[in-house]
Amino acid sequence: MQFRTGKVFLAVALAAAMVLSFYKPAAADDRETCKTASGDAAIAACTRAIESKKYSKKKFKRTLSLLYTNRGVEYEIKKEFDKAIADHDQAIKVDPKNWAAYNNRGNAHAGKHDYDHAIVDYDEAVKLNPKYAEAYYNRGLAKRNKGNTAGADVDIAQAKTLQPGIGAPAN
C-alpha cells in the first residue's frame, strides 16, 4: 500500500497557512503599540490587548491596569471624558495602587470641570506616590480653578520642588 503523504502534507500546510493569515495576535506588539502610539491606533491596540485575556491573570494585573489607563488617556485627549473615566475606573479596580490611574482619572474629571472629583483623585495619587510631581501640579490647577489660590500655590510649589520645570511651556 502506497501513501500519498506529499499531497496530503501540502494540503494541510496550505490550510494551516490560510487559518493563520486570519489570526491577529494580541501579543506584545499590541501592548507596545498601546504604550507608544496615539489616537485611534493606540485605542485599538489597547482594546485588542485587553480583550485578548492574555493579561487577565493575577501576575499581569499591573500590565492590565496600565493598558486600561493608557487607553483612558487616549480617550481623554479625544475629549471623550466618560470613556476615559470608565477606563481609569477599570485600571483602579484591577490595581488599586496604580497612582497614575488616579492622576489620569483626575485629569478626565478636570476635563469635565468636575474639580471636586479631580481633587479627590489627585489626593489619592499623592497618597500612593508622595513624589509624583504631576499629581501635585494637577491638584494645584484644580484648586486654582475652584478659587483656592493659596492651596494651588502650595501644590504647584511642591510639584516644582519635585520636578523643576514642570508646567513650563514646551519649546
Question: Can you read off the three cell numbers belonging to residue 76?
Answer: 481623554
Residues 6+ apart with CB under 8 A from 137: 155, 156, 159, 160, 166, 167
What is the residue extent of each domain of the chain?
25-162
Separation CA 51–CA 104 (nearest Å): 22
Kindly state the percentage of the chain with pLDDT values over 70: 83
Return the SS3 of 6.
Answer: helix
Higher pLDDT, 98 or 5: 98
Longest C-alpha distance within the chain, in Å? 93
**Mean pLDDT within 33-49:** 95
Q: What angle do CA 111, 83, 32 make, to 5 degrees?
A: 100
Cα–Cα dist 52/27, whole Å: 8
Name the fold adopted by 25-162: 1.25.40
pLDDT band at 18 (very low <50, low <70, confident <90, very high): very low
Tens digit of each residue's pLDDT (9 = 90 or more) over 58-103: 899 999 999 999 999 999 999 999 999 999 999 999 999 999 999 9
Predicted pLDDT at 4: 39
**Predicted confidence band at 27 (pLDDT cuts at 50, 70, 90)?**
low
For 143-171, what is each residue's pLDDT tens digit?
A: 999 999 999 999 999 999 999 999 888 76
pLDDT at 6: 42
